Amino acid sequence: MADKTIFQKIEAGEIPAKIEYQDAECFAIRDINPQAPLHLLVIPRKVVPHLSEASAADAALLGHLLLVARDLALKLGCGDGFRTVINNGKNAGETVPHLHVHVLGGRPLGWPPG
C-alpha cells in the first residue's frame, strides 16, 4: 500500500489540524500557512493525486467539493468574495499529491494570481 499522504495522516488524527467540516466524502481544514484571513483546504477522503488524474467517475465528488467550499466560504463570512483554487502539478505549485480545493477569502484577492 502506498504511503499515506499528509492529508490522510490528518484525517487519521496522526497530524493535528483544526477540522472545520467533515462528511462521508470530504473534510475541510485550516491551511497551516494561510495566504488570506480565511484559507481552508477541502479534501476528498478518496485520494485522487491530481486533478489531471481524475476520471468521469469522480465528477460527483468534484462537484461536491466545490459546493462544500462555497458553503464554508459563505458560512465563514466571505459573502463579499472568495476564491477556489486547485493547483495541478509542479508549475502550478502543487506540493501535496492528494487533490484538494483551496478556499481563500477575507481580503481583496488580486488578479491575475501569481
Which positions lie near ligand 5GP, rule CB under 6 A?
6, 15, 17, 29-33, 41, 87, 93-96
Minimal distance, residue 49 CB to ligand 5GP, in Å = 10
What is the separation of C-alpha 25 from the centre of its chain, rounded to a whole number of angstroms? 13
Closest CA to 38 of 80, 65, 73: 73
Annotation marks residue 39 as catalytic: no
Report d(CA 53, CA 51) in Å as an integer.
Answer: 5
Pick between residue 78 and residue 99 the one whose CB is nearest to ligand 5GP: 99
Minimal distance, residue 57 CB to ligand 5GP, in Å = 23
Report d(CA 58, CA 48) in Å as an integer.
Answer: 9
Tell me which residues are annotated as active site: 100
